A and B are shown apart, each in its own frame.
Chain A
Amino acid sequence: MMGFQVVLLWSDLLIWLLVAVGIGVGVFIARNPPLLAAWRRVGASRVGMAAATVLLVFVVVGLLDSLHYRRQLDGKPGQKASYAVEVLSLLDAIAAPLRSRNEKTYSEPFATRLYAKETVDVPGRGQVREYPRLKFGGAHLGEREGEVAADVGFTAFRAAVIGVLAWLAVVAAAIGAVAWQGGVSHGEAGRRIWAGETRFAWNAVLATLAAVFLVVVPLLWLAGGYHVFGTDKVGQDVLYQVLKSVRTGLIIGLVTTLVTLPLAVLLGIVAGYFRGWVDDLIQYLYTVLNSIPGVLLIAAAVLMMQVVIDTHPQWFSTAAERADLRLLALCFILGITSWTGLCRLLRGETLKLRELEYIQAAQAFGVSSWRIIVRHILPNLMHIVIIALVMDFSGLVLAEAVLSYVGIGVDPTMVSFGTMINNARMELGREPAVWWSLAAAFAAMFILVLAANLFADAVRDAFDPRAA
């Protein structure tokens, strides 16, 4: 058995920290009826829950990609173990075939041959220009290249059947859960789910899962024999790149809030509650930051960060570490430039809250200012924070693509939607055009962002007191 060494990247640490925080918040919510009621409203929203299901798929991919290790190199027994330079993740291990089966250059989805003609020596015919056969794509077909359509169709059908079976297992589990919770028969539980009479939008979740299973299972199954989304310029599988991009997007969207939230919440509440010179100072601070157009401020900050990274190569032991730190620095910069909006919102809301009578009642008891902030103001601002958090996520994922395209995003060696688009965009100009890299990146990003937007809407409807 091969040994390995666990590698804990900073971003891994933060993302698992976020998971832990998420679980902690979940426990807290379960103990607090008003918050629980709001989340129940989210749970009752069909669209919201369908979107959450899709998001969950992305999150699972991202989390699998956040457990990193280095493989032990083959060495003689007794020697000190040495480890590969390459940092791999659990996702890499699962998707090993996708990662390792590289072709020479571009190939179309489900192609068996390269996209460009090459001069090859054919025994007996001399040098011929033709489309060379792919090393891996459709290799199992051997000489029967013409049967791609039939093979794909048949394989997809088999996989779909298995997908449906898996889905039915989930349905059975859901019926069991509803029956147990509501204390009704399994038939009645099934009817309730079907008719949408459950408090939790089970029918939406199950319908979404059906779609997910029907698409994902055949896709992964086929990925074993083909490059389902084609390959890129250096012959790497596009599906693998899409999977790797998910983690980058999630980190940008989530870790940034770790920077934004404390700044915005603390400064916003302090400015609104204490007013006077504290308020003036904080207002000045965020007006100045807000005055610098966002992209330019990010550009300037990223340029400066590049200088720091480039002049201190000794800080990083692996390329992965460097890319990782650059990603975190980007999150930090995005956070620093985007807390102002939420801060202003919270300041305004705090100004209103501090005039409310329950705050004055607390003041009449001589309750200290910080205690009033923690007990009375913060809990009554939580809904705004939660809404802002989910609303920002999709914007940040979209921003990553644009920034990476402009050249001020993630490290060029790090796979992300932005770098995928950046690398592939010139290829639309080729004759015939290479479209699959772009299409795959845009489609995956669209699904992620749409799901995030729909979920954000559901959360806002459930938490916004005006909407209720």
Chain B
Amino acid sequence: MSDPLLSVRDLRLGFTAGRRAKTLLAVDGISFSVGSGETFALLGESGCGKSATAQGIMRLLPGAGRITGGSVRLAGEELLNLAEADMRRIRGARMAMIFQEPATSLNPVLTVGQQIGEVLSRHRGLAGPEAAAAMAGLLKQVGIADPERRLNEYPFQLSGGMKQRVMIAIALAGEPELLIADEPTTALDVTVQAQILDLLAGVQAARGMGLLLITHDLGVVARMANRIGVMYAGELVEVASREAFFTAPQHPYTRALFSALPEVSRRGHPLLTIPGQVPSLEAMPAGCRFADRCGQVMAVCREHSPPWREIAGGHAVRCHWQAADDGEANGSPGKRAELQSPDRHLLEVADLKVHFSIRRGILQRTVGYVKAVDGVSLALTPGRTLALVGESGCGKTTVGKAILQLIAPTGGSVRLGATELVGMKPRRLRAVRRHMQMVFQDPFASLNPRLRVGEIIAEGMAALRVGSTADHGPAVAALLAQVGLPAEAADRFPHEFSGGQRQRIAVARALAVQPELLICDEPTSALDVSVQAQILNLLKTLQEALGVAYLFITHNFAVVEYLAHDVAVMYLGRIVERGSAEEVLGNPRHPYTRALLSAVPVPRLEGRPEAIKLPGETPSPAKPPAGCHFHPRCIHASEACRRDYPAGTRVSETHTVVCHLYP
């Protein structure tokens, strides 16, 4: 039998902590192989060791990293005992790697050409016009127009997607047999993600490369992978072909990952969550590492680490439990207790504008404006959830902050109940702040590390004089109970909690002043899927119990489908389509909404029937295109689109679209 392209056997690696030189194993004996022309996806949540595995294969571990055992063979050649100089001849030539953050992975002071040329001269001995031709060819191959000009540009002159294309070009320059892609699209918008995934699939097919794809996204796996390995706490727990993986996942962890995904079919049902958290490297359980969080746990699980068990050809699982073959435990599409939408609006935003001035020249005169938010109108009724969806830079977060008056709006009106907030005096505004609060995106930046959790939660009550100081103690305890944390948490500091727990604390802080409106700014995008499910469930129960209205700012359609009653889609500072969730998601009218929906990779075997690919990337809000902002990327663009910004068209009572296609 010939050797597979990449074969990893029993790889162990870890990180030394402190001078005691105790190595904590981050990856503990994993084995898999990648064949030529095959895409193997290594799937796992943050901290499971998947990126360390990739770096270990390249022998690019950071300073504290050590490979403690196992074997990595590239086409039969053992890499782990190669001299460093020989390893350098393989890196970049026979195997190449691309990274998650294209923004920081390119050298900021070298041109694109210099950075690609390095590989050409090092591994292929190309220089001068030969190299220039090769570079232009590579850029063309990764879909960059006008390659000759781009070669002389610096990374900061390129957009995010373009940088990742350049990274891919650098990786391809050495004509590698194996490409390792470590979360290559996580930092990118969905429409750009779709482009990059297509590009990767295309070059892989054209060159017959092996592709090792590291990802946490089941949708990306479904789009790309031939075979999948699931990692948990430094171990592989299941290896399966694409078909087997999506039709008959075996390991309880894999199954849990699927059930934790928010989807339209699960509306009205709480999501299945994985309790607890991944054990820390210092305290790995002796038996199965998933035992403490597993629904099917048995006595044997806690004592013996399960051996590999072959289910079918190429499908193996490390679990003591034998799944009864009941397929996916998917709930039937839920009936939702529809709230009648009362006529009274809690929040009414009309023609909201937030412009930032651009200053240039010697005297720093204002030469233009970044129209971050340019005439947004929204309405939200009590107890309902409005999702504000859009890609990065569309101004959705600015809308949230402008509603809260954290950023002073340039124009327009924000009415909460009967009160107009725009232009209100700061002192009077304080009284209104009781009624609206915000939950932020980053659970690590949203809690002051120097304050105890109790102090953090009580801050709003003290500032807005909710209850007397004596009441704050019991109130904090009640709030903690409400968000599912023990009362002792009040005396501890934020760093003692995990990301999901911190987000619960942030929710408790916002609820402390009993607001009627909660603005949630991407509250789950920094969290793993299983934790995201916990927070979504919490938000849902809280809404049912307290009748809070949510303005849910997100880029994640799955979350929107699961949670939202109403949806508004934003593009370059304006809302292009809004309506009820069923209308917008089920019957999208605006070409941008359609493209966004179809670009989201679906975690199922059968993808979307039709895939609309958007060319290009979102332009800068400083110079939005004339006419309809979307026309340069729109396949239906007509002369009218280039000339005039369209007026809104009512599709139904609640459904509005802003597009020339619907006169």
Point out the residues of chain B lying under 8 angstroms from A366, CB to CB.
426, 429-430, 433, 463-464
Rounded to whole angstroms, the CA-CA distance of A379 and B494 in the bound complex is 15
Rounded to whole angstroms, the CA-CA distance of A367 and B459 in the bound complex is 8
Q: From residue 329 to 367 of chain A, which have CB atoms closer than 8 A to chain B?
A: 356-358, 360-367
Q: From residue 1 to 54 of chain A, which have CB atoms closer than 8 A to chain B?
A: 32-34
The one of A33, A371, A376 that contacts B448, using a Cβ cutoff of 8 Å = A376
Rounded to whole angstroms, the CA-CA distance of A368 and B448 in the bound complex is 16
B178 → chain A closest CB, angstroms: 34
A127 close to chain B: CB less than 8 A:
no
B140 → chain A closest CB, angstroms: 40
A380 close to chain B: CB less than 8 A:
yes
A135 close to chain B: CB less than 8 A:
no
A191 close to chain B: CB less than 8 A:
no
A375 close to chain B: CB less than 8 A:
yes
Q: Is the CB of A34 within 8 A of B493?
A: yes
Rounded to whole angstroms, the CA-CA distance of A371 and B451 in the bound complex is 14
**A interface residues, tally (CB under 8 Å):** 20
Point out the residues of chain A lying under 8 angstroms from B95, CB to CB.
none
Point out the residues of chain B lying under 8 angstroms from A357, CB to CB.
440-442, 445-446
Rounded to whole angstroms, the CA-CA distance of A362 and B456 in the bound complex is 9
A357 → chain B closest CB, angstroms: 4
Give per-residue flags for B402-442: 1 if the beta carbon is below 8 A from chain A beta carbons, else 0. 00101000000000000000000010011001000110111
Rounded to whole angstroms, the CA-CA distance of A365 and B429 in the bound complex is 10
Q: Is the CB of A365 within 8 A of B446?
A: no
Interface size class, chain B: 20 to 34
Point out the residues of chain B lying under 8 angstroms from A356, CB to CB.
445-446
Give per-residue flags for B469-505: 1 if the beta carbon is below 8 A from chain A beta carbons, else 0. 0000000000000000000000001010000000000
B289 close to chain A: CB less than 8 A:
no
B214 → chain A closest CB, angstroms: 26
Q: Tell which of B404, B433, B446, B459 has the most Cβ of chain A within 10 Å.
A: B459
Rounded to whole angstroms, the CA-CA distance of A368 and B463 in the bound complex is 8
Rounded to whole angstroms, the CA-CA distance of A362 and B404 in the bound complex is 12
B385 → chain A closest CB, angstroms: 19
B91 → chain A closest CB, angstroms: 28
Point out the residues of chain B lying under 8 angstroms from A379, CB to CB.
448, 450-451
A102 → chain B closest CB, angstroms: 52
Residue of chain B at shortest CB distance from A359 = B448
Q: Tell which of B426, B429, B445 has the most Cβ of chain A within 10 Å.
A: B445
A168 → chain B closest CB, angstroms: 29
Rounded to whole angstroms, the CA-CA distance of A379 and B456 in the bound complex is 14
The one of B449, B509, B513 that contacts A380, using a Cβ cutoff of 8 Å = B449
B424 → chain A closest CB, angstroms: 11
Point out the residues of chain B lying under 8 angstroms from A376, CB to CB.
448, 450-451
Point out the residues of chain B lying under 8 angstroms from A380, CB to CB.
448-450
Q: Is the CB of B509 within 8 A of A361?
A: yes
B208 close to chain A: CB less than 8 A:
no
Q: Is the CB of A361 within 8 A of B438?
A: yes
Q: Is the CB of A364 within 8 A of B406?
A: yes
Rounded to whole angstroms, the CA-CA distance of A368 and B447 in the bound complex is 18
Q: Is the CB of B448 within 8 A of A364?
A: no
Point out the residues of chain B lying under 8 angstroms from A371, CB to CB.
463
Q: Is the CB of A361 within 8 A of B440?
A: yes
Q: Is the CB of A360 within 8 A of B401?
A: yes
Q: Is the CB of B448 within 8 A of A358?
A: yes
Rounded to whole angstroms, the CA-CA distance of A360 and B397 in the bound complex is 13
Rounded to whole angstroms, the CA-CA distance of A363 and B451 in the bound complex is 16
B351 → chain A closest CB, angstroms: 23
B506 close to chain A: CB less than 8 A:
yes
A350 → chain B closest CB, angstroms: 14
Rounded to whole angstroms, the CA-CA distance of A368 and B426 in the bound complex is 10
The one of B426, B429, B450, B506 that contacts A361, using a Cβ cutoff of 8 Å = B506
Point out the residues of chain A lying under 8 angstroms from B456, CB to CB.
358
Rounded to whole angstroms, the CA-CA distance of A375 and B447 in the bound complex is 12
Q: Is the CB of B406 within 8 A of A365?
A: no
Between-chain CB contacts (< 8 Å), 10 pairs: A356-B445, A358-B446, A360-B438, A361-B438, A361-B446, A362-B459, A364-B438, A368-B463, A375-B459, A379-B451
Given contacts A356-B446, A380-B450, 6 further A-B contacts (CB under 8 A): A32-B450, A34-B449, A357-B445, A358-B448, A365-B459, A366-B430
What are the 7 tightest A-B residue pairs by CB atom distance, in nearest-first order?
A366-B430, A357-B446, A357-B440, A379-B450, A365-B460, A365-B463, A367-B463
